[in-house]
Structure 1
Amino acid sequence: MSLLEVRGLKASYGVVPALHRVDFRAEAGEVVGILGHNGMGKTTLLRAIMGYVKVTGGEISFDGADIRGLSVNARARAGLGLVPQGREIFPNLSVEDNLMVGIATQKGDTGPIIAEILELFPRLKRLLDRRGGALSGGEQQLLALARCLCRRPKLMLLDEPTEGIQPSIIDEISDTLKVLTARQDITIVLVEQNLDFITGLSDRVYAIANGVLDSEIPRDRLTDPQAVSEFMGFAA
């Protein structure tokens, strides 16, 4: 049984359709990449899985249970975590306080969780007293990832984590996610436009175009820009 299975998913913003047909799965421990251009439905898909966008048809199964009727908070408690596009950290709180917000739902001694997170994100150790809004874009992205992981999710949904990030920190994010998936039992669904980043991390890659996702891109086609463009709904 897949950890996450999405079948025939449709979603809308009010009366405006956004997703027309989405079919994919993510097995436990996998990194699944979803490649697509702007406006193709990538963000809507993650927000629908997390519960922020109204689902009008199809199924979302997580850990063997139908989660369509659950609230965002209930999905988070079940083990879903979202790192949104734009990061959405708290700019007036310190790095440490941002992490404490992320860990607020955990019971018992949270010190070991924070220590473990800082081992994964050593750059944040020297920034604990700095306001989130004073960080660079790349540092904010690292903080957003770290804050999400404080909740110990089974499935982490990543929305365009390389957007507006300097290359050195893109490499750092990639290395951190590789370490994370090697050390912990976590599944990642990653939506991106950065082909090199997504292929370097993902076990499988899908393409989304015009709200439709039903085709996995064979790995041997990912090195062919024309083939990738066709999968994404564009002629090369």
Structure 2
Amino acid sequence: MGEYLMLELKHVDSFYGDSQILHDISFAVAKGSLTSVVGRNGMGKTMLLKTIMGLTDRVCGSIALGVRQLIDLPTHNRAKVGIGYVPQGREIISQFTVKENILMGCYARQDGKKKLPELALELFPYLKENLSRRAGLLSGGQQQQLAIARALASKPDLLLLDEPTEGIQPNIVEQIERVIIQLNQEFELTIVLVEQNIAFACRASQQFVMMNNGAIAATGQIDKLSEDLVRQYMAV
């Protein structure tokens, strides 16, 4: 784990219109670490990532990427300073080819270069072999691979992943989980992962953030994510 912070939130409140959706969120993510955000559905996990990306109406508090304060930056500029984001639903463009979808991620590159990310194509051989295929013809799991590849095309310092294995066929779930761990452990990419699968979160992460009703119920090293906490905040 790195010696300095990649991402730090201090006393963050987030709003849609007049409705407050996040309450007094404070936590830090070390450079090179993987943090899993866990909790029941509807408790604020997705809203946390959207808030980091500047996709809510209003935010109070402090969100810093390294030494850079993000709170007043528009979303496209947050991507340009080094945040890759894979949202729920993937949001790939079905009429575009695999190659065209991946290259869209290059618009956020700091050096402005428009080239396919070799790392992403190594990690996802199917994409490499099907660059000219229309993205709408891909399975859900293949589209998820494409969304991750597109995020990697921006050469991010921090990757935000919102439930990347939800609703995907099991053989591709295993591959995506393996790639996430590889990106973090081998390539030292800092990752914040929204994840419902506690077994995978425990296997992949160094730290967890447990969300409950738009606030942080617990946070700490992954070995502190106890069965009691899971039962209290995740059992239906």
- The alignment's TM-score, normalised by the length of structure 2, stands at 0.91
Match of 1:184 in 2: 187
Change (3 A) 1:173 1:56: same
Q: What percent of counterpart residues are identical? A: 40
Unaligned runs of 5+ in 2: none
How far 1:2 moved relative to its partner? 1.2
Aligned residues: 232
Match of 1:210 in 2: 213
Question: After the TM superposition, which of the residue ranges 27-36 and 171-180 deviates more from structure 2?
Answer: 171-180
- Contact 2:87 2:162 survives alignment (8 Å): yes
SS in 1 for 2:117: helix
Superposed CA RMSD: 1.9
> What do the CA deviations read for 1:22-47 (whole angstroms, capped 9, x no partner)?
11111000000010111101111101
> What do the CA deviations read for 1:96-153 (whole angstroms, capped 9, x no partner)?
1111111245447654x53332012112122212211111111110000000000000
How far 1:183 moved relative to its partner? 3.3
User: 1:14 and 2:55 equivalent?
Assistant: no
Within 5 A, what are the aligned runs for 1:197-236?
A: 197-213=200-216, 215-216=218-219, 219-222=222-225, 224=227, 226-230=228-232, 232=233
Of 116, 122, 131, 1:128 maps to 131
Within 5 A, what are the aligned runs for 1:2-81?
A: 2-81=5-84
Query: What amino acid maps onto 1:228 in structure 2?
Result: V
> What do the CA deviations read for 1:143-195 (whole angstroms, capped 9, x no partner)?
00000000000001111111111121111011111221233242100012121
SS in 2 for 1:26: strand
Whole-angstrom CA distance in 2 between matches of 1:109 and 1:59: 31
SS in 1 for 2:192: strand
- Contact 1:81 1:148 survives alignment (8 Å): yes
User: 1:140 and 2:143 equivalent?
Assistant: yes
- The alignment's TM-score, normalised by the length of structure 1, stands at 0.91
Query: What amino acid maps onto 1:227 in structure 2?
Result: L
Whole-angstrom CA distance in 1 between matches of 2:160 and 2:136: 23
User: 1:168 and 2:204 equivalent?
Assistant: no
Of 93, 99, 105, 2:102 maps to 99
Whole-angstrom CA distance in 1 between matches of 2:189 and 2:222: 22
